[in-house]
Amino acid sequence: MTAAEWQIVRFTVEMAVLSTVLILPFGVALAWCLARLRWRGKTLVETFVAFPLVLPPVLTGLVLLKLCGRRGPVGHFLYSEFHFDIVFTWRAVALALAVMSFPLLVWTARSAIEEVNPALEQIARTLGAGEWRVFFTITLPLAKRGILAGTVLAFARALGEFGATIMVAGNIPGVTTTLSTGIYQLVQAGEDSHAWTLAGVSLALAFAAVWINVRLMRRSKR
Amino acid sequence: MSLILKNISLPLAPFTLEVDVEIHGRVNVIFGPSGAGKTSLLEVVAGLRAAKSAFIQLDDLVLTDVARGVFVPIRQRGIGYVPQDLALFPHLSVRQNLLYGRKSGGDKERVFPFERIVEVLEIQPLLQRGVAQLSGGEKQRVALARALLAAPRLLLLDEPLASLDLKLKTRVLPYLARVRDEFRIPMLYVTHDRFETLALADRMVVLVNGKIEQTGPVQEVFSRPASLAVADILTVETVLPGRIVKMDGELVTVAAGPTALVSAAQNLPANIREVYVCIRAEDVMVLKGGDVPGSARNHLPAVVKSVTREGALMRVELDCGFALAALLTKQACEELALLPGSGVVALVKAPHIHLIPR
């Protein structure tokens, strides 16, 4: 593999890891709220979270672009207050991957938390545990496998993201090019053999991630 | 311990749980058939379940007062709860389960030393094990120890022996008695088992279809059920309709079937004629023929219908004009050579014939 190809692989994995780490605490917190609490507007939140699964990724990317561009509300605020851009930078890549993989994490984590017997949490409370202690010593350890499976799934989804990424981050070689956008660009340029190299790496990463996910899910059922 | 439950109302599927009672004493049994609302009542006391209305006070602390919006959080109630399924933490070892709620300092009076609890409940050899490697009786002891180590002011036990077979039951029961005697912790004990009630409790509350039918000392409730429903639930073996034919001071003569029975019924309303006659199987003595000495007022010639084993005792079904059950030891059955068809005399003392107005 060439240095440029290595750079793309490394960059994609880094961005997938970053986005997954970023969404993990929010995803688990939201999953817990959905699994354990009843609140107004819950259905609406569920719908919004699931949106990126069903919307054309390009549309999700377009929304992000409009929000985070210098003329968008979020992008304008960040640029005028902190003097940095999101769109067409590595930050946009991480953002696109995070938004696109978030629903997979939330859904898997939610069902893992729902499978934890609430009676165990109740007993922990009668033994004097507060809500944080109940969560970290009972709920989280018992839902661990499912949450981990959801994390791996989200990571795998992030690795292959294309549509939203290309809208909000573009395809700037050495700056925002990921495996998917890289393959697209190479095929456009007629460099099929290089495209196949990246495709092979992509395949191997995806296989490993899904394989781990399947193993985790199987053991969590037991 | 004093536990005041006032104006408790909780709609359940077929009925509404409605309870108004003050509970005193060390071990109180809540007795009732399954589906009577016993578990729901415990959950309301522990704060695990919100009632529509409720006032709950444990000693001098108000735990719940729906009308005033008072609700002490579960973890601050100081109420230990051992649910029927025990709810041991499956991802923790026995030791970690035990230490989860352990209180070691602070309120010195209530804290039980870890070593002592482990010793009394014989948990030492289990400490390093996982929860999945425990037998039913072991799990029961671990759940009990875990609740005790949190140093509760009141311990709620939901049918702790119901899931165990008879043999295991008789092995675990002494542990409960030890806990009662050694740690002197007030307990509210839900069961529908007479044997457990008699073995452990001082007082009992009989709960039927969400309502309290009777409260009082265990012996008194068992020998003087307040209503037919209670007699039925306590499985007083013999309940039959009768008619009072004579009231002679303390002694009441009742016609039951073809027989006249003499009862030392107390507190019977003066105008009552129609009654139910209740006789517990333990209170029936059986003799073999001949002249009958002794002080018992009721001598009933009878024929043995069947002899069956019931726990450590033998249950003898008799026909003395009505069906009468007796519980005898195995030795007594053998000495009397009781077989179906044997002719015997059943003896029942007058104070053991309890009358319920009908």
Residue A46, in any domain of the structure: no
Grade residue B290 by pLDDT with cuts at 50, 70 and 90: low
Going by C-alpha positions, the residue among B316, B323, B182 that lies closest to residue B239 is B323
Does residue B296 carry a pLDDT above 80?
Answer: no
Nearest by CB to A120, from B75, B77, B89: name it.
B89
Please give, rounded to a whole number of angstroms, the shortest distance from the CA of B80 to a CA of chain A. 6
A128 CA: distance to closest CA in chain B (Å)? 4
Burial of A188 (0-12, 13-18, 19+ CB in 10 A): exposed
Residue of A nearest to B75 (CA): A128
Polymer length in residues for chain A: 222
CB proximity list for A82: less than 8 A, separation 6 or greater: none
Residues of chain A with a CB closer than 8 angstroms to some CB in chain B? 117, 119-120, 122-130, 137-138, 141-142
Selected residue with higher pLDDT from B170 and B293: B170
What pLDDT, on a 0 to 100 scale, did the predictor assign at position B13?
85
- The confidence score (pLDDT) of residue B102 equals 85
A19-40 pLDDT, tens digit per residue, is: 999 999 999 999 999 999 999 9
Residue of A nearest to B73 (CA): A125
Contact B75/A128, CB-based, under 8 Å? Answer: yes
Predicted confidence (pLDDT) at residue B198 exceeds the cutoff of 90: no
For residue A86, the enclosing domain spans 3-34+56-221
Q: Which among A123, A130, A141 has the least Cβ separation from residue B87?
A: A123
What are the structure tokens assigned to A80, written together?
């005028």
Average pLDDT for B64-86: 94
Q: Is A141 in contact with B91 (Cβ distance < 8 A)? A: yes
Answer yes or no: is A45 within a domain: no
Give the separation between CA B16 and CA B12, rounded to whole angstroms.
5
A-chain residues within 8 Å CB-CB of B101? 124, 126-129
Tell me the nearest-neighbour CA distance from B150 into chain A, angstroms. 6
CA B188 to chain centre: 11
**φ, ψ for residue B53, nearest 5 deg:** -140, 150
Residues of A in contact with B150 (CB under 8 A): 126-128
CB neighbours of A70 closer than 8 A, spacing ≥ 6? Answer: A76, A79, A85, A87
Lowest mean pLDDT among A194-203, B293-302, B311-320: B293-302
Q: How many domains does chain A have?
A: 1
Q: Span A172-185, mean pLDDT? A: 94
The alpha carbons of chain A give a radius of gyration, in whole angstroms, of: 20
Q: Give the pLDDT of residue A97.
A: 97
Model pLDDT, residue B165 = 78
Task: Confirm or reject contact between B101 and chain A (CB < 8 A).
Answer: yes
CB A145 within 8 A of CB A84: no
Q: Does pLDDT of A191 surpass 70?
A: yes
Cα–Cα distance, B336 to B259 (Å, whole number): 24
B107 compared with A202, residue with greater pLDDT: A202
pLDDT class for B292, splitting at 50, 70, 90? low
Contact list in B for residue A126 (CB cut-off 8 A) is 46, 48, 74-75, 77, 79-81, 101, 147, 150, 152
A-interface mutation test, from B40, B44, B48, most A Cβ less than 10 A away: B48
Task: Give the count of alpha carbons within 13 A of B62, CB side only.
Answer: 11
The answer for B 61-90 residues in CB contact with A (under 8 A) is 73-77, 79-81, 83, 85, 87, 89-90
Which chain A residue lies closest to B96 (C-alpha atoms)? A137
Determine the number of helices (DSSP H) and then strands (DSSP E) in chain A. Answer: 11, 0
Residue-range domain boundaries for chain B: 2-223, 236-278, 281-350
Q: Do residue B74 and residue A117 have CB atoms under 8 angstroms apart?
A: no
Residues facing residue B16 across a β-bridge: B11
Angstrom distance (rounded) from CA B70 to CA B240: 48
Length of chain B: 358
pLDDT above 90: percentage of residues in chain B: 43
Residue of chain A whose alpha carbon sits nearest to that of B78: A126
Shortest alpha-carbon distance between residue A125 and chain B (Å):
5
- Residue B299 is predicted with a pLDDT of 86
Interface test with A, best of B91, B96, B110 (most A CBs within 10 A): B91
Q: What pLDDT does B112 receive? A: 83
pLDDT value at residue B214:
93
Among B81, B91, B103, whose Cβ lies nearest the Cβ of A126?
Answer: B81
A124: chain B residues, CB-CB within 8 Å: 89, 100-101
- Put simply, the answer to whether B146 touches A127 (Cβ < 8 Å) is yes
Is A96 or B103 the better-scoring residue by pLDDT?
A: A96
- Band of pLDDT at residue A130, cut at 50, 70 and 90: very high
Residue A13's contacts (CB-CB under 8 Å, 6 or more residues apart) are A159, A205
Chain B (143-202) residues lying within 8 Å, Cβ to Cβ, of chain A: 146-147, 150, 152
> In the Cβ-directed half-sphere of B354, how many Cα atoms lie within 13 Å?
24
Say if the Cβ atoms of A126 and B91 lie within 8 Å: no
For B189, the 3-state DSSP assignment is: strand
Mean pLDDT of all residues in A178-202:
94
Of A119, A129, A141, the CB nearest to B87: A119
Q: What is the mean pLDDT of residues B157-162?
A: 90
In a domain, A157, yes or no: yes
Q: How many CB atoms lie within 10 A of CB B257?
A: 14
Q: What was the pLDDT predicted at A220?
A: 58
Q: In chain B, whose CA is at the least distance from the CA of A118?
A: B87
Contact B103, B74 (CB under 8 A): no
Backbone angles phi, psi at B336, to 5 degrees: -85, -5
Q: pTM for the complete prediction?
A: 0.80
B100 and A127 within 8 Å at the Cβ level: the answer is: yes
CATH code at position A177: 1.10.3720.10
Architecture of domain B281-350: Beta Barrel (2.40)
Q: Which of A125, A128, A138 lies at the smallest CB-CB distance from B89?
A: A138
Residues of A in contact with B73 (CB under 8 A): 125
Query: Which structure tokens are listed for B134?
Result: 């425990």
Would you say B213 and B36 are in contact if contact means Cβ atoms under 8 Å apart? no
Pairing of β B2-11 and β B259-263 = unpaired
pLDDT at A91: 95
User: Is B355 or A185 the better-scoring residue by pLDDT?
Assistant: A185
* A102 vs B299: which has the higher pLDDT: A102
Assign B335 a pLDDT band (cuts: 50, 70, 90): confident
Place of tokens 């929010």: A26
> Do the beta carbons of residue A15 and residue A178 sit within 8 Å?
yes
Q: How many angstroms separate the CA of residue A131 from the nearest CA in chain B?
A: 9
Confidence of residue B146 (pLDDT cuts 50, 70, 90): very high
**B15-35, pLDDT tens digit by residue?**
999 999 999 988 999 999 888
Confidence band of B141 (pLDDT split at 50, 70, 90)? very high
Average pLDDT rounded to a whole number, residues A137-157: 95
Cβ atoms of A217 and A151 within 8 Å: the answer is no
For B1, counting Cβ atoms within 10 Å of its Cβ (0-12 exposed, 13-18 middle, 19+ buried), the class is middle
- In angstroms, the separation between the Cα of residue A129 and the nearest Cα of chain B is 6
Cβ distance A102 to A154 under 8 Å? yes
Amino acid at B122: E
- Do B101 and A127 count as a contact with CB atoms less than 8 A apart? yes
Rounded to the nearest angstrom, the gap between the alpha carbon of residue B311 and the centroid of all alpha carbons in its chain is 17
Pairing assessment for the beta strands B285-287 and B274-279 based on DSSP bridges:
unpaired
Q: Which residues contact B279 (CB under 8 A, 6 or more apart)?
A: B236, B237, B238, B324, B348, B352, B353, B354
What is the rounded average pLDDT of the residues B316-336? 88
Burial of B292 (0-12, 13-18, 19+ CB in 10 A): exposed
Question: For residue B256, what are the β-bridge partners?
Answer: B259
pLDDT of A222 > 60? The answer is no
A168's tokens: 């909000």
Q: Which residue of A has its CA nearest to B85?
A: A119
Q: Is residue A49 part of a domain?
A: no
Domain B2-223: homologous superfamily in CATH: P-loop containing nucleotide triphosphate hydrolases (3.40.50.300)
> Using CA atoms, how far apart are residues B325 and A45, in angstroms rounded to an integer?
65
The structure tokens 């482990």 sit at B118
Whether the pLDDT of residue A100 is over 90: the answer is yes
In a domain, A50, yes or no: no
Please, which pLDDT band fits residue A134 given cuts at 50, 70 and 90? Answer: very high
The alpha-carbon gap from A151 to the nearest alpha carbon of chain B, in Å, equals 21
DSSP, residue by residue, B115-142: HHHHHHTT-GGGTTSBGGG--HHHHHHH
